[in-house]
Amino acid sequence: DQQVKQNSPSLSVQEGRISILNCDYTNSMFDYFLWYKKYPAEGPTFLISISSIKDKNEDGRFTVFLNKSAKHLSLHIVPSQPGDSAVYFCAASEGYNTDKLIFGTGTRLQVFP
Amino acid sequence: DAMVIQNPRYQVTQFGKPVTLSCSQTLNHNVMYWYQQKSSRAPKLLFHYYDKDFNNEADTPDNFQSRRPNTSFCFLDIRSPGLGDAAMYLCATRGGSHRGSGYTFGSGTRLTVV
């Protein structure tokens, strides 16, 4: 039973346009959500996070939106660049003492010129 | 640069032959994790250490063991690898009290079982 779901395995976007990556979750106890980016043959790198008490967090070209009532979050990349081409993982954690991240299956983003 | 280093990057082992994967960190983080990722699947937590306290996931097979002799090093031992254990194994660390700061991952070890 997957608690964090990324239903789009891949996304293709033109350079300069907006990329929107989506993530759904089922556990209402999750209180922190994170996005990771992964290049081939490398480990995931932390991108941006959001606490469940917020509905938006922005860092440069990256913005994460959280809709708690829909149990949905999204990552917006504006403008998209070819270097953004990677696999993006959504992850969630529950409770301060838990220390565990539950990952989605990832979305492969390709940004073409 | 402070980092998380996994050795080796690629490991080939024989069916049933014990294998050890290693992870070291220069971040002085107190929490270390081992994740298993199979192709096109979500990374799955096997276990983690909070300092020396070992926390095993309920569905982690007994075939998988871990050791953390000190803050810097953590090992994953697979006692009798099966074909189904072929995967990417990711080590990660976390430090600090702010949970939104995320984990720092190593580059992973890709394990092949022949």
Residues of A in contact with B99 (CB under 8 A): 32, 49, 93, 96
Q: What is the pLDDT of residues B39-55, one digit of tens each?
A: 878 999 999 998 899 99
For residue B70 the two structure tokens come to 């000190």
Who among B43, B48, B107 is closest to A42 (CB)?
A: B107
- CB-CB contact of B109 with B37 (8 Å): no
Please compute the mean of the pLDDT values over residues B34-43 and round it to a whole number: 91
Burial class (CB in 10 A: 0-12, 13-18, 19+), B45: buried
Chain B residues within 8 Å of chain A (Cβ atoms): 4, 6, 9, 31, 35, 40-45, 48, 50, 55, 90, 92, 94, 99-108
Q: Of A60-69, B51-60, B64-73, which range is least confident?
A: B51-60
Report the run of H or E that residue A48 belongs to, with start and end. strand A45-51
Residues with Cβ within 8 Å of residue B3, at least 6 apart in sequence: B25, B26, B27, B104, B106
Who among A43, A93, A104 is closest to B99 (CB)?
A: A93
**CB atoms A89 and B104 under 8 Å:** no
Q: What is the pLDDT of residues B11-33, one digit of tens each?
A: 999 999 999 999 999 999 989 99
Q: Which residue on chain B is closest to A4 by alpha carbon?
A: B42
